[in-house]
Amino acid sequence: MEHASFIIASYVLTFGSIAAYAAWVVRRGRGLARRASREEMPWT
Amino acid sequence: MTPTGAHATTGTPATRRLGLVVCVLLVLLVLSGLWWSAEDVVQGSTVRIMYVHVPSIWVAYMAFALTAVCSGAYLSRGTRSVAWDRVAGASAEIGVLFVAVSLVTGSLWGRLTWGTYWVWDARLTSTAFLFITYVGYLAVRRLGGTLRQRARRSAVLALLAVLEIPLVHFSVELWRSLHQEASVANPNAKVEMDGLMLFTLMLGLATFTALFVWLVLHRQRVILLEDTVADRGLDEAIASRRDEAGAR
| Dihedral (Cα; B25, B28, B33, B39), 10-degree rounding | -140
Q: Which of B221, B226, B231 would best serve as a mutation to test chain A binding (most A beta carbons within 10 A)? A: B221
The pLDDT tens digits for B17-66 are 999 999 999 999 999 999 998 888 778 888 999 999 999 999 999 999 99
Note the pLDDT of residue B128. 96
How far is C-alpha B42 from the geometric centre of its chain's CA atoms? 31
DSSP state of B35: I
Report the half-sphere exposure of B187 (CA within 13 A, side-chain side): 8
Q: How far is CA B119 from CA A14, B90, B177, B220, in A?
A: 21, 31, 10, 36
Q: Which residues of A touch B228 (CB under 8 A)?
A: 32, 36, 40
Q: Which residues contact residue B210 at a Cβ distance below 8 angstroms, ignoring those fewer than 6 apart?
A: B18, B21, B22, B25
- Quick one: which of B136, B74, B98, B101 has its CA closest to B216? B98
Note the pLDDT of residue B231. 82
The pLDDT tens digits for B215-232 are 999 999 999 999 998 888
Q: Which residues of chain A have pLDDT under 70?
A: none
Residue B188 one-letter amino acid: N
Cβ within 8 Å, pair A33-B8: yes
- Quick one: which of B72, B95, B62 has its CA closest to B152? B72
Choose among B7, B105, B229: nearest Cβ to A10: B105
Choose among A2, A14, A21: nearest Cβ to B52: A14
Q: Which residues of A touch B94 (CB under 8 A)?
A: 21
Q: Which of A1, A7, A27 would best serve as a mutation to test chain B binding (most B beta carbons within 10 A)? A: A7
Q: Which of B225, B228, B229, B232 would best serve as a mutation to test chain A binding (most A beta carbons within 10 A)? A: B225
